[in-house]
Amino acid sequence: MAACSNAIKYAKAYEDFNFNGVYPNFEDNSQKFYLTENYWQSKVKGYLSQDKHKKRDTTNNVQDSDFDYFKQLFKVSNCGICGRKFTFDNKPTLERIDNSIGHSKDNVLPCCLKWITGGLSNVMHRVNRSGIDFIKRLY
């Protein structure tokens, strides 16, 4: 029953949402994001691990050697979903365009980390309920 009401809530919230629409950005005064080699190396390891776990082809995956390309890409581009600039409060990640293949240069789109972690509804739910609910873990 709770899953149904949650689905209805999000369906109502997004019924007039246009994915291709242009929505105004708010001013984000946090420090501009710059890609470091350590951060990039950890992202590359994570992408490789995800793709191997899902048994996707990893021969063309992004590499540590692509650091300069993605450093420039994150510097000049905006999120592919919401259009916001990348900052340290709004870190970038790579979204796969075709989910059946791995994280290759021609199959990724830079976007905000928050849109990828659990999907849009999970982010909204986490923001709305943060600090309100206490869930006990049963072992």
Whether 8 shows a pLDDT value over 90: the answer reads: no
Q: For residue 1, what pLDDT is reported?
A: 63
pTM, two decimals, is 0.65
Contact assessment for residue 112 and residue 81, using Cβ atoms and an 8 Å cutoff: yes
> Which amino acid would we find at residue 101?
I
Based on its alpha-carbon atoms, the radius of gyration of the chain, rounded to whole angstroms, reads 17
Q: What are phi and psi of 99, to 5 degrees?
A: -70, -5
Instruction: Quickly tell me which residue has 């992408």 as its tokens.
Output: 47
3-state secondary structure of 12: helix
Confidence of residue 134 (pLDDT cuts 50, 70, 90): low
For residue 3, is pLDDT > 80?
A: no
Residues 116 and 92 sit within 8 Å (Cβ to Cβ): no
Nearest CA-CA partner of 108 in 122, 121, 92: 92
